């Protein structure tokens, strides 16, 4: 994962939101693990998302949908 990749967040109600990774993976002290910063297009917010949550199929609420070159 790197800046420019797209991720999708799915709610339990079936809604989907697209986010753009804006910073390459970096160690996040609060998570005590690596995370990426994501810009969410629907509301203009920025969040940090745990990389394991995006990569792990058990966490089906987040998924990588498009990788930049």
7-36 pLDDT, tens digit each: 999 998 989 999 999 999 999 898 888 999
pTM of structure? 0.86
Whole domain around residue 50: which residue ranges? 1-26+43-69
Residue 64, C-beta contacts closer than 8 angstroms, at least 6 positions apart: 1, 5, 6, 7, 54, 55
Q: Flag whether 9 is in a domain.
A: yes
Q: Flag whether 31 is in a domain.
A: no
Domain count, the chain: 1
- Local structure of 12: helix, strand or coil: coil
**Beta strand extents in 1-69 (DSSP E only):** 6-10, 16-28, 33-40, 45-50, 62-66
Q: Flag whether 37 is in a domain.
A: no
């Amino acid at each position: 994962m790197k800046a420019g990749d797209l991720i999708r967040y799915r709610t339990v109600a079936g809604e989907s939101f697209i986010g753009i990774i804006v910073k390459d993976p970096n160690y996040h002290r609060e998570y005590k693990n690596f995370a990426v910063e994501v810009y969410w297009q629907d509301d203009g917010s920025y969040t940090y998302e745990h990389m394991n949550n995006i990569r792990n199929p058990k966490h089906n609420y987040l998924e990588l949908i498009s990788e930049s070159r």
